[in-house]
Amino acid sequence: MTSDRKPVFLPSGDRAFVVQFGSEIDPEVNALVHRATSAIERADLDGVVELVPTYRSLIVHYEPLLAHPGDLQNAILSLDLSETVESGGQRIVEIPTLYGGEFGPDIGFVAENARMTESEVIATHSGTDYLVYAMGFSPGFPYLGGLDPRLNTPRLTTPRTLIPGGSVGIAETQTGAYPVASPGGWQLIGRTPLKLFEPESDPPAIINAGDRVCFVPLADENAFLEIEERVRDGSYSVTTRQV
């Protein structure tokens, strides 16, 4: 494997193993995880069933009747990661977001914690392209890195039992968006009218690990409702760009 970091292989049951590239949350480590994912997909290794990239490691699920984990690990070590970058570059997904008010009930607390005005919180939060380190805890939920340290905010002391789908929040050093209605303890600062996850769509999630995300502020509730209606009738296209 052509890389300055040699991976560590860790067992994960009898049908999977972990390929660990580091012990810290770091953009370079995460980029290596995604390059390895791409390389394994291109190699089309016999027996590999599924690949799950995370912050600093990759889980390889395999069929034990078709492949031995040791053989797969040796095959992975032989891959050249320098040739796995897509020619089109990294994708940035634009997420229209209405900040504050009933759509972002915790923005006042975030502003107070950051010693900013709410307008400054919006400008700061929407002024960054965030790296999608991993997808979890529910389908389509993007864990985003690159939050301005001034916006670091503790989680809610008591999580909410139900958060509307599309809610954008902050927890500690990360930001993210809830794809579907669910419980959660993040500080909510806004909401997007986009459907971040729809099981019947192909692909079901509009954001993938390794992408970047940019939140685009909406002017008012009318703008939110207009996009929401277009999403509902299928006339809205998610804006993406390459870097």
89 has pLDDT over 80:
no
Which residues on adjacent β-strands are paired with residue 240?
93
Average confidence (pLDDT) over 142-151: 94
From 19-33, 49-63, 71-85, 134-148, the region with the lowest mean pLDDT: 71-85
- The reply to whether 91-242 shares the fold of 8-83 is no
Cis check for the bond before 27: say yes or no (omega within 30 of 0).
no
pLDDT at residue 200 greater than cutoff 90: no
pLDDT digits (tens, 9 = 90+) for 108-135: 999 999 999 999 999 999 999 999 998 8
Q: What is the pLDDT confidence band of residue 87, given thresholds at 50, 70 and 90? A: very low
Cα–Cα dist 215/61, whole Å: 33
* pLDDT over 70, % of the chain: 95
Backbone φ and ψ of 125, nearest 5°: -65, -40
Cα–Cα distances (Å) from 50 to 64, 72, 119, 133, 141, in that order, read 13, 13, 43, 18, 19
pLDDT band (50, 70, 90) for residue 23:
confident
pTM of the model: 0.82
Residues 6+ apart with CB under 8 A from 191: 97, 98, 103, 104, 164, 166, 167, 168, 224
CATH number for 91-242 (one of 3.40.50.300, 2.40.100.10, 3.40.50.2300, 1.50.10.10): it is: 2.40.100.10
Mean pLDDT for 61-78 is 95
Burial grade of 22 (CB within 10 A; 0-12, 13-18, 19 or more): middle
How many C-alpha atoms does 26 have within 13 Å on its Cβ side? Answer: 9
pLDDT confidence of residue 90: 81
CA distance 50 to 57: 14
Residue 2 pLDDT level (bands cut at 50, 70, 90): low
What is the rounded CA–CA span in Å between residue 85 and residue 243?
12
Give the pLDDT mean for 152-172: 96
pLDDT recorded at residue 202: 81
Burial of 18 (0-12, 13-18, 19+ CB in 10 A): middle
For the chain, domain boundaries: 8-83, 91-242
Q: May I ask the CATH class of domain 8-83?
A: alpha beta
